[in-house]
Amino acid sequence: MNNRRQFLAAGGALAALAAPQADAATEQGHARNLYIHGMVWNRQLGAPMNDWLVRLDANVTIPLGDGQLAGSPGFATLGDDFHDAVGSHVEIHSAALNGDQPTINGTVTESKNAGLAGQAVRIEGKVQGTSVAGLIVTIGSSVFNGAGLVVIAIIAILIR
């Protein structure tokens, strides 16, 4: 029992040390966290992209008001269950929610397809309840359209 108490006390002390420390320039703010899951395609593109059914999962944090987030506001993954070359990771650089329209910009950081690495990615749509109508995912100059689901949460964060 004594070992368990010592372990918990030490763990609590480590957690306290690891917690971000607020300074005079930091204040409590609020942000929206968006998680988008969707599927997009474009049969008008040239091969092989015309056969891709791109699955998107994106998670972004958007500060409300004038707050700024330190670091990347989010990440995304792209994939296709049939076409393995679509598999990519995306680092989100900026995200905004204007009314019911999210606009998310990033870059493919890793991909199973060397041609996708380094390509710009833009995610747009219109939030209608728990869905994203008119979901548009642009990878480089290729535009894919479809639909998705969205989960929106208002969270308290430390902003600068």
Tell me which residue of 49, 65, 57 sits closest to 139, measured CA to CA.
49
Which pLDDT value is given to residue 93? 94
Is a pLDDT exceeding 70 seen at residue 130? yes
Q: Distances from the Cα of 74 to the Cαs of 15, 34, 85, 117, 134, in angstroms?
A: 24, 9, 23, 18, 21
Decide if 151 contacts 127 (C-beta within 8 A): no
**Is the model's pTM score more than 0.85?**
no
Q: Give the C-alpha separation, 119 to 45, whole Å.
A: 17
Give which of 60, 57, 59 is closest to 87, Cα–Cα: 57
pLDDT band at 12 (very low <50, low <70, confident <90, very high): very low
> Which value, in Å, is the radius of gyration of the alpha carbons in the chain?
20
Encode pLDDT of 60-97 as tens digits: 988 776 655 556 789 999 999 999 999 999 999 999 88
Mean pLDDT estimate for the chain? 81
Extents of the domains making up the chain: 22-159
Range name among 10-14, 32-36, 62-66, 108-112 with the lowest pLDDT average: 10-14
- Does residue 26 register a pLDDT over 50? no
- At 26 the three-state DSSP class reads coil
